């Protein structure tokens, strides 16, 4: 629902209406599945939406995995390969934002843990057209890995025309709801899930980070930590203390920093996941 009143149409609302109304009435809702070893991918099309700064088209990349196989989050953990996306070759595209639903932790089979997805996952896309009066011809080349007992590098090349009238809106909206909400330190993202404090502490051979998380009593909680750039390879935070109370404590070493990087003053991204709730908190290390 756009809440439109004809006498008060803004330029942005008019742009959204242009995407939804003056483009062809019939649109392709999804690309054909591209099947690879142990996985298949396709593009999904949704409707036009209004963001804070622009009119956008809702779309998504769906990855369907064979039973027992997994693929990786934007930060893969101890082992693994994050997916990469190349939208070169698209037409009438100003920008594309890729979003990631909350991931899970699983064993990597080598004594460590990876972060990612199993089964079926939809990565939402927010596509900003260059010209809102014309359809978007979206092209994406995806490089990713799927892993069972062995890991297989995989590539997909997908195309889909977006008009703002795609029929996969429900699936895309559900996937967007699974993307961690960005909130401030101490703020709750729903159902009392919050990251209360982050402290850098002395340690040998590395400094450590101590994180306090609030969550409903008895609910499982996972915590993931990312550095300010992809070159940071931080270990997965581990529980430190009781894991069922309303407040949980996690710690991790400040290990895996790129050469010359300093922890003090760096901004980490902490993602807490508890059931269907997930939050993302940027924190500036003191």
Give Cα 234 distance to the centre of its chain.
Answer: 18
Q: CB 26: neighbour CB atoms within 10 A?
A: 8
CB 229 within 8 A of CB 222: no
How far apart, in whole angstroms, are the C-alpha atoms of residue 116 and residue 190? Answer: 22
pLDDT tier at 40, thresholds 50, 70, 90 = very high
Q: Which contacts (CB < 8 Å, 24+ apart) does range 40-43 have? A: 40/64, 41/142, 41/156, 41/158, 42/158, 43/138, 43/140, 43/158, 43/159, 43/160
Among positive and negative, which fits the CA dihedral 19, 23, 24, 25? Answer: positive
| CATH number attached to the domain at 6-177 | 2.60.40.1250
Across the chain, which distance is largest between two alpha carbons, in Å? Answer: 66
The answer to whether the bond into 205 is cis (omega within 30° of 0) is yes
> What does the pLDDT read at residue 233?
96
How far apart, in whole angstroms, are the C-alpha atoms of residue 120 and residue 72? Answer: 12
Element (H, E) at 18: helix 11-21
Q: What is the pLDDT of residues 106-146, one digit of tens each?
A: 988 888 899 999 999 999 999 999 999 999 999 999 999 99
> What does the pLDDT read at residue 1?
31
> What does the pLDDT read at residue 243?
79
Poorest-pLDDT segment among 10-19, 53-62, 229-238: 10-19
Average pLDDT over residues 42-62: 91
> What does the pLDDT read at residue 255?
96
How far apart, in whole angstroms, are the C-alpha atoms of residue 22 and residue 174? Answer: 27
Q: Tell me which fold the domain 181-284 belongs to.
A: Immunoglobulin-like (2.60.40)
Could you give the percent of the chain with pLDDT greater than 70? Answer: 90
> What does the pLDDT read at residue 54?
76
pLDDT tier at 24, thresholds 50, 70, 90 = very low
How far apart, in whole angstroms, are the C-alpha atoms of residue 242 and residue 25? Answer: 57
Strand 277-284, strand 181-182: pairing: parallel
């Amino acid at each position: 629902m756009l809440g439109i009143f004809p006498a008060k149409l803004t330029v942005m609302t008019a742009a959204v209406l242009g995407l939804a109304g003056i483009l062809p009435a019939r649109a392709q809702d999804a690309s054909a599945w591209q099947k690879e070893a142990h996985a298949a991918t396709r593009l999904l099309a949704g409707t036009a939406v209004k963001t804070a700064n622009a009119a956008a088209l809702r779309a998504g990349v769906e990855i369907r995995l064979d039973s027992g196989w997994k693929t990786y989050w934007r930060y893969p953990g101890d082992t693994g390969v994050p997916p990469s996306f190349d939208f070169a070759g698209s037409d009438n595209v100003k920008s594309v934002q890729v979003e990631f639903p909350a991931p899970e932790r699983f064993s990597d089979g080598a004594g460590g843990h990876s972060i990612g997805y199993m089964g079926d996952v939809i990565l939402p896309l927010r596509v900003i057209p260059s010209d809102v009066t014309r359809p978007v011809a979206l092209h994406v080349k995806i490089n990713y890995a799927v892993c069972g007992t062995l890991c297989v590098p995989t590539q997909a090349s997908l195309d889909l025309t977006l008009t703002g009238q795609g029929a996969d809106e429900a699936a895309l909206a559900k996937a967007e709801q699974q993307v961690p909400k960005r909130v401030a330190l101490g703020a709750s993202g729903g159902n009392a899930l919050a990251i209360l404090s982050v402290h850098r502490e002395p340690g040998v051979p590395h400094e450590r980070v101590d994180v306090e998380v609030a969550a409903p009593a008895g609910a499982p909680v996972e915590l993931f930590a990312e550095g300010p750039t992809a070159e940071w390879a931080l270990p997965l935070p581990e529980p430190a203390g009781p894991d069922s109370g309303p407040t949980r404590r996690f710690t991790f070493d400040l290990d895996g920093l790129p050469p010359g990087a300093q922890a003090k003053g760096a901004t980490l991204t902490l993602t807490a996941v508890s059931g269907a709730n997930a939050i993302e908190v940027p924190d500036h290390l003191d």
